């Protein structure tokens, strides 16, 4: 079994060989490592995509708008890097749509890392299903691993707000219960607390 370090290094070098800059290749290596760590087919998908673009390197996406369409199929890597670089500004758009994006699985780790930067969950809705990304710690999906889509006709990114799953009442009830563990302050505790007994000689 290949180590995650080997996976990252080979992905990075292969990306450079196919025509990406070293900087972009570094980001690809990190992203494929993330996919494999979450038991998603990163190497397989990257290999298929590189075969597709070997003789026709994709164009960069100049600007990311609320709705993104192109005459050509969108590159998941250039798109993913652009989102990662600008995620703090892009979250203000709340919902972003992309049409005709190649091998959409490859954009997922860039979005997962973006979720960590903005400290908010990101939901990704594809033709086949959905991904939920949470601060680069979890990637949840209802899409079968064997369903390695070559192109997504429509991909929607939703930046979610952090919300508690409990009510104020539930929190107050639990907090009230926790107060039973508080130790009442007594004179002996005051005398033994940090800083007690120190003399100010100034």
Helix or strand run (H / E) with residue 181: none
Is residue 135 classed as helix, strand or coil in its secondary structure? coil
Residue 177 covered by a domain: no
Residue 104 covered by a domain: yes
Residue 89 covered by a domain: yes
Residue 9 covered by a domain: yes
Q: Which residue has the higher pLDDT, 17 or 1?
A: 17
Say how far apart CA 164 and CA 144 lie, in whole Å: 29
When pLDDT is averaged across residues 46-55 and rounded to a whole number, the result is 96
Say how far apart CA 144 and CA 154 lie, in whole Å: 18
Residue 116 covered by a domain: yes
Task: Give me the chain's average pLDDT, please.
Answer: 90
When pLDDT is averaged across residues 161-182 and rounded to a whole number, the result is 90
List the structure tokens of 35.
């996919």
Total tally of structural domains belonging to the chain: 1
Q: Which residue has the higher pLDDT, 131 or 146?
A: 131
pLDDT attached to residue 202 = 53
Residue 56 covered by a domain: yes
pLDDT attached to residue 38 = 94
pLDDT attached to residue 127 = 83
- The pLDDT-based confidence of 147 (bands split at 50, 70, 90) is low
Residue 11 covered by a domain: yes
pLDDT at 79 over 70: yes
Give residues with Cβ within 8 angstroms of 168, minimum separation 6.
none
pLDDT at 89 over 70: yes
Q: Which residue has the higher pLDDT, 194 or 164?
A: 164
Q: Which of 21-35, 97-111, 112-126, 162-176 has the lowest mean pLDDT?
A: 162-176
Residue 82 covered by a domain: yes
Q: Which residue has the higher pLDDT, 88 or 1?
A: 88
Contact in structure between 9 and 16 (CB atoms under 8 Å) = no
pLDDT at 183 over 80: no
Contact in structure between 80 and 109 (CB atoms under 8 Å) = yes
Residue with tokens 């025509």: 19
When pLDDT is averaged across residues 27-53 and rounded to a whole number, the result is 96
Contact in structure between 61 and 52 (CB atoms under 8 Å) = no
Range ranked top by mean pLDDT from 2-6, 59-63, 150-154: 2-6
Q: In which domain, by residue range, is 94 found?
A: 4-159
């Amino acid at each position: 079994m290949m180590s995650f370090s080997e996976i990252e290094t080979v992905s990075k070098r292969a990306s450079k060989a196919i025509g990406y800059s070293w900087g972009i290749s570094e980001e690809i290596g990190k992203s494929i490592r993330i996919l494999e760590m979450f038991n998603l087919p990163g190497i397989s998908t990257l290999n298929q995509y590189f075969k597709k673009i070997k003789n026709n390197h994709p164009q960069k996406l100049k600007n990311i708008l609320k709705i993104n369409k192109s005459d050509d199929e969108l590159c998941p890597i250039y798109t993913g890097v652009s989102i990662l670089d600008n995620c703090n500004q892009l979250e203000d758009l709340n919902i972003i749509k992309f049409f005709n994006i190649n091998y959409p699985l490859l954009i997922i780790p860039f979005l997962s890392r973006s979720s960590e930067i903005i400290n908010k969950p990101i939901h990704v809705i594809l033709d086949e299903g959905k991904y939920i990304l949470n601060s680069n710690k979890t990637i949840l999906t209802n899409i079968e691993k064997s369903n390695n889509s070559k192109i997504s006709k429509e991909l929607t990114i939703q930046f979610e707000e952090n919300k508690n799953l409990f009510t104020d009442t539930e929190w107050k009830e639990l907090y009230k219960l926790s107060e039973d563990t508080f130790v009442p302050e007594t004179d002996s505790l005051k005398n033994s607390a940090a800083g007690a007994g120190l003399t100010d000689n100034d």
